Structure 1
């Protein structure tokens, strides 16, 4: 009788962590992670320890969704205290670097008025020596340019703090909130201390499609036979689904939820903003999970680094299947404008394409083109890109959270590429404050009154209609609305029908249809067949 083989069960969630916190760019890229740890995470845990009951209660209040409250029961405050102490010990050098960078940037702004910066290198604090360049812009405003490649080779990059937490997903709402709540160990969890870049990570996730014997999985995870009681509930003997490639004459778009879409055309697969969820043991909204996706994804596209578009857990789990990861280009002038390309390399990706606007990649009877993405970042210059995918005569614009602040951008897009038949866009008209999740990157002293009207929003109905008109669209897919329940740990509970973004969506859809445009709001697994 043959030995049974196993793969990860559909309910098994694998969460990448950095010292207990969910891995995203603000806990991974060395300089942002140092500032975030010093100015956000450590103060957050200290605030929790002053009033655990208040934090635990506030974290459960839907009216306070998005607030900075640690959702951990008061009786576990001792574990939080131990985590805080360990963070302060293991990341003491990061804290010193963050303090030095903050103080030096403030000093440089006051000191440098256009004179040569050469003598000022003597003033660079020791934690930053050899890792930064002092520069001016053309208006003689000084700034510190981080040598990011050097940072990844320094002690400030800490892959030893990385781990993968295997856990049964009980419900979509059961995951700790990404920004505010660390993962504590629970019964039935397995914490696998492994740097994300290691090949062993792919060996585990290859079993999604190629089940292996129990001993193989033990060896990969570094478990003894005694660990079977923990490991077996995470596994299943059920065979993975057999993926049937799409061979229709038309391109097929499979909407997988939020901003994630799978484009299939002439044997090529393109996955946009991959965010894939396990299936909860307690049931939930239908979805495709990992073993049901294509065995090869030729291109995975990342529009920007917000965690509902760049999900480290999904990228790691699909890494061995992704031919090329396509990311927006960073300018690197701001300490928070980290390089998605460098981060992808540190996540173990070998083939990373960093596209500038209007650079393209050829496809069979088509092409993949990076196009401008304005708005949504509160006027902060961080890497971002929308994409046009051309399949035959069909052109699709995946606009993510783009805001139409300049009609000419879309007029030029049509002039350069031709009419864009189908537009995927959202209507997040409120948006979070521009410092949401990024407060640690800002100096302490600034005029906050002037910043009040800066929001991370997308287009409203009028702006959306202008995009459709400018590009000559005949179809609108309203997406990335945060409606799917598996997005809750990232962006909070799904909004109600009377929320501003939903009302704006209704208005956009109604007015687009009145203009003869095929308009729909996407929700959950949806297949779209487009004209070739």
Structure 2
């Protein structure tokens, strides 16, 4: 008798969680996670417990999207209280670390005025001892440099708090805010208590490509599953769709959505800023999903760490397919300038590249180049790279949320590598404050007035046109505009035609076409070919 084989259903959602919060770098990297816990998560849940009805209502208001309200009904406040207690108990060491960082940095700024820092090591608090270096810049301003590799091997890294929760993805707008709402357990959820680096996740997600018998799947899920009836709603016995790599002729580009783009050239596949969504039970917007991607992804490139570009959920699901993960290089001089490479290692990636600007990664008759990226994090030093992909004589610039605030950069870039024929760029002209998502890294007392014009924005129309002119672009692809419903839980409701960034996009597209530049705004999922 033939045994039935099952794969993961197209609508199976696999959410990586850290203590019931959706995973992103600020909940995984040890020192930032400690500060985020102490300064953001714990105070937020305490505020919710004071007025749960108000929070639950405010979280549903589109005008308050991106703000700090917990979208959990008041009837479940008892579960939130229990979660808060567990967080405070099981992450007590992280809270002590965060307190030590805050207190010691303030003391160091007041004490160190250019004299030798050697005697000050005696004042380093216990949670930081042996894990930091004290240093000055050339103006004798002191700072604390975290020895991040040691932090990942300390008690402050908490892989035991990492879980993977499997569920049916009912609708895109049903997902709670990644930043402000923890994920409470619901009926039908299956929870795997395994660290993100565990190889069992690769075996699980290989079921996207190769069906297995139900018994194999139950064994893989282990004690999390008590019966077939629990796991069958997350599986499908339909054939796996064929998704073979593109072999030409020429270059194929598949826009997956938001800032995620798949480039296929001479049998090589390159995926940028991978945010891939499962389909939904209710249907929803058409999309390129996990079953539609190549079985092997040679290079997966990350521009920067905002979770609409570096999505741990997608990275874990694709890990077994990825040849090399390519990330921007960090300096490590700020608490928030964490290492994406070390984060990737902690997520189980073995082959991680961290190229310098204009360092070449060879492709068949082509190459990958890291390029400078001004903007998006305001004026904060963080790991970020735009990417140049050369295929034959054709070159594409994936500029993500770059801002053309220094035209000399793009003039120099063109002098160094030649014309960049196609540019993928954003037109977010307002942007969140530069502290967006990073509030926990800043001192509690600071001059807020000075920060009002420090934004995480992209290029406006004049800047965008100048960038295109400077690099010799013939095509513009306006992307990363927040138009796809499956990124709503990360960046809020999709933009409307009246949104400032959309009006700016309309103006940019019109100006480009008037100047003979082929300009398109990307939305949804689509496939096209470029001249090479």
Please tell me the TM-score bracket, short chain as reference: over 0.9
Return the alpha-carbon distance in structure 1 between the equivalents of residues 50 and 3 of structure 2: 54
* CA distances 1:335-359 after superposition (whole Å, capped 9, x unpaired): 1100000000000000000011111
Equivalent positions of 1:321-360 (< 5 A) are 321-360=321-360
Contact kept in structure 1, 2:190 and 2:225, CA below 8 Å = no
The residue number in structure 2 matching 1:481 is 481
Equivalent positions of 1:186-335 (< 5 A) are 186-223=186-223, 226-335=226-335
Matched, 1:179 2:198: no
Return the alpha-carbon distance in structure 1 between the equivalents of residues 285 and 88 of structure 2: 40
Matched, 1:396 2:376: no
The residue number in structure 2 matching 1:167 is 167
Return the alpha-carbon distance in structure 2 between the equivalents of residues 226 and 96 of structure 1: 39
* CA distances 1:41-85 after superposition (whole Å, capped 9, x unpaired): 000000000000000000001111111000000000000000000
Tell me by how many angstroms 1:245 deviates.
2.7
Tell me by how many angstroms 1:247 deviates.
2.3
3-state DSSP of counterpart to 2:505: helix
Contact kept in structure 2, 1:16 and 1:313, CA below 8 Å = yes
Cα 1:62–1:306, aligned 2, differ >3 Å: closer, same or farther? same
Q: How many pairs align?
A: 532
Matched, 1:443 2:437: no
User: What is the alpha-carbon root mean square deviation over aligned residues?
Assistant: 0.8
Contact kept in structure 1, 2:32 and 2:335, CA below 8 Å = yes
Tell me by how many angstroms 1:425 deviates.
0.2
Tell me by how many angstroms 1:171 deviates.
0.4
The residue number in structure 2 matching 1:492 is 492
* CA distances 1:194-252 after superposition (whole Å, capped 9, x unpaired): 00001001010011101111111111111377332211100011111111332222211
Tell me by how many angstroms 1:488 deviates.
0.3
3-state DSSP of counterpart to 2:325: strand
Return the alpha-carbon distance in structure 1 between the equivalents of residues 439 and 221 of structure 2: 37
Return the alpha-carbon distance in structure 2 between the equivalents of residues 225 and 189 of structure 1: 10
3-state DSSP of counterpart to 1:256: strand
Contact kept in structure 1, 2:209 and 2:240, CA below 8 Å = yes
Return the alpha-carbon distance in structure 2 between the equivalents of residues 224 and 442 of structure 1: 40
* CA distances 1:137-177 after superposition (whole Å, capped 9, x unpaired): 11100000000000000000000000001011110011111
* CA distances 1:390-445 after superposition (whole Å, capped 9, x unpaired): 00011000000000010011101110110000000010000001111111000112
* CA distances 1:114-149 after superposition (whole Å, capped 9, x unpaired): 000000000000111111110001110000000000
Return the alpha-carbon distance in structure 2 between the equivalents of residues 514 and 321 of structure 1: 43
Matched, 1:47 2:47: yes
3-state DSSP of counterpart to 1:40: helix
Matched, 1:30 2:50: no
Return the alpha-carbon distance in structure 2 between the equivalents of residues 184 and 445 of structure 1: 33
The residue number in structure 1 matching 2:71 is 71
3-state DSSP of counterpart to 2:172: coil
3-state DSSP of counterpart to 1:528: strand
Return the alpha-carbon distance in structure 1 between the equivalents of residues 484 and 369 of structure 2: 28
* CA distances 1:282-340 after superposition (whole Å, capped 9, x unpaired): 11110011111100000000000000000001000000100000000000000110000
Contact kept in structure 1, 2:191 and 2:224, CA below 8 Å = no
Equivalent positions of 1:340-489 (< 5 A) are 340-489=340-489
Return the alpha-carbon distance in structure 2 between the equivalents of residues 223 and 88 of structure 1: 27
Equivalent positions of 1:67-216 (< 5 A) are 67-216=67-216
* CA distances 1:75-114 after superposition (whole Å, capped 9, x unpaired): 0000000000000000000000100110000000010000
* Segment of structure 1 superposing worse, 87-96 or 244-253: 244-253
Cα 1:124–1:225, aligned 2, differ >3 Å: closer, same or farther? closer
3-state DSSP of counterpart to 2:524: coil
Equivalent positions of 1:504-523 (< 5 A) are 504-523=504-523
Contact kept in structure 1, 2:271 and 2:297, CA below 8 Å = yes
3-state DSSP of counterpart to 2:205: helix
3-state DSSP of counterpart to 1:173: helix
Contact kept in structure 2, 1:259 and 1:309, CA below 8 Å = yes
TM-score by length of 2: 0.99
3-state DSSP of counterpart to 1:444: coil
* CA distances 1:256-278 after superposition (whole Å, capped 9, x unpaired): 10000000000000000001101
Cα 1:470–1:206, aligned 2, differ >3 Å: closer, same or farther? same
Contact kept in structure 2, 1:240 and 1:292, CA below 8 Å = no
